[in-house]
Amino acid sequence: MHLVHPATLAVLLFCVGLYGVLARRNTVLVLMSVELMLAAVSLNLVAFDVWLADELHSGQVFTLFLIALAAAEIGIGLAIVLLVYRRRGTVALDRLRALRDGPGAVAPPDEVHDPDARPAATADAAARGQEATP
Amino acid sequence: MSAGALPALLAAEESGRGVLSPSGVEIVFLLVAVVVLGAAILCVTSRHLVHAALYLVVALGGLAVEYLLLTAEFIAWVQVLIYLGSVVVLLLFGLMLTRAPIGPSPDADSANRPVALVVSLAAAATLVTLVVDAFRTTWIDLDTPHGRSDALGESLFRAWVLPFEALSVLLLAALVGAIVISRARRDDSEEGRG
């Protein structure tokens, strides 16, 4: 088989994933596009491993590791997305601008909600990501 | 293409393998590649969020077929088991738990869609030119299978056993981390929104 075929397919799949990461608004859809990019890298690794006929099967073993890492990544990523959804009530990427700097910076709704109701230390902790545990 | 490409291509044609006379495996590979690319493009452009996840299933399943065509059978089945079996189900759970709408959602794409299109098209053009120019006279020998489960398992548990164990520890850490992150804390019910 011509090596150009799998290599070109991997490149195009990677670029489709790149478009998805840049253009999507929902965080779960961005994670799907990241999966597409990882799959493109896996295809590249397998194709080049079969081409070189490596005795240690480096490319295919690395693809196995990559699949396991993708599973771990999607687990952590979805946990973070669910936490963000519980805190902010949205998963739209352009509305999560609590850490934004510059002219477009706005206070996240959690802090403008009722700033006087809690003491300053708690509000400060809330601004840093609400890591304070009771 | 440089001047030296044509004789090399002609020599390849004479030796029975060429771009203009593809083998059966190459034709099947290209057809499945069209399916994979189409499903991937639909996955990143679909306005139905659940449909996007199902198009991802088609794309990753097609990739498993490509692995089979490249004689990497073990990778193909691992891909089916882990990607199609668990990752997509996790993504569907994520869509469900963030209350994704069932119908079409008009705000699935953000405002920087033209910029994303330009960036990805430029990257695709650059990389395709580079890859085609670099590997135009390179051929994969598929007559001897190079991904059988016994050979792969042997090298995995002989040469790669230390990275394998490190990866298992990493997976455990990731799992514990995901549980810790998604565990409902007490202040969630007071300050959270639902």
Verify whether the Cβ–Cβ distance B193 to A87 is below 8 Å. Answer: yes
- The domain spans of chain A are 4-95, 97-129
Q: How confident is the model at residue B136 (pLDDT cuts 50, 70, 90)?
A: confident
* B19, B60, B128 ranked by CB distance to A8: nearest: B128
* A5, A61, A85 ranked by CB distance to B26: nearest: A5
Q: Look at residue A80 and give its three-state secondary structure.
A: helix
Nearest chain B residue to A77, by CA = B178
Alpha carbon A5 to chain centroid, angstroms: 28
What pLDDT score was predicted for residue B188?
A: 53
- The domain spans of chain B are 24-101, 148-184
Asked which of A113-117, B57-61, B134-138 is least confident by mean pLDDT, the reply is: A113-117
B66-75 pLDDT tens trace: 999 999 999 9
B72-116 pLDDT tens trace: 999 999 999 998 888 999 999 988 888 888 788 877 788 889 999
| Cβ neighbours of residue A28 closer than 8 Å, sequence gap 6 or more | A78, A81, A91, B49, B91, B94, B95, B98, B100
Nearest chain A residue to B155, by CA = A56
Output the six-digit token pair for A54: 């490596």
In angstroms, the CA B78 to CA B103 distance is 32
Name which CATH class applies to B24-101: mainly alpha
Q: How confident is the model at residue A4 (pLDDT cuts 50, 70, 90)?
A: very high
- Packing angle, helices A27-52 and B24-45, rounded to 10: 160
Domain spanning A4-95: CATH 2.120.10.30: no
Run of H or E including A124? helix A120-127
In angstroms, the CA B170 to CA B165 distance is 9
In angstroms, the CA B20 to CA B70 distance is 20
Nearest chain B residue to A71, by CA = B87
- Predicted complex ipTM: 0.84
A123 CA: distance to closest CA in chain B (Å): 12
* A19, A42, A83 ranked by CB distance to B44: nearest: A19
In angstroms, the CA A56 to CA B164 distance is 14
A88 CA: distance to closest CA in chain B (Å): 7
pLDDT over threshold 50, residue A111: no
Q: How confident is the model at residue B11 (pLDDT cuts 50, 70, 90)?
A: low
A107 CA: distance to closest CA in chain B (Å): 16
Asked which of A13-27, A96-110, B14-28 is least confident by mean pLDDT, the reply is: A96-110
Residues B49, B68: contact at Cβ < 8 Å? no
Dihedral sign for Cα atoms in the order A115, A118, A123, A126: negative
Number of C-beta neighbours around residue A5 at 10 A: 22
- Packing angle, helices A27-52 and A58-88, rounded to 10: 180
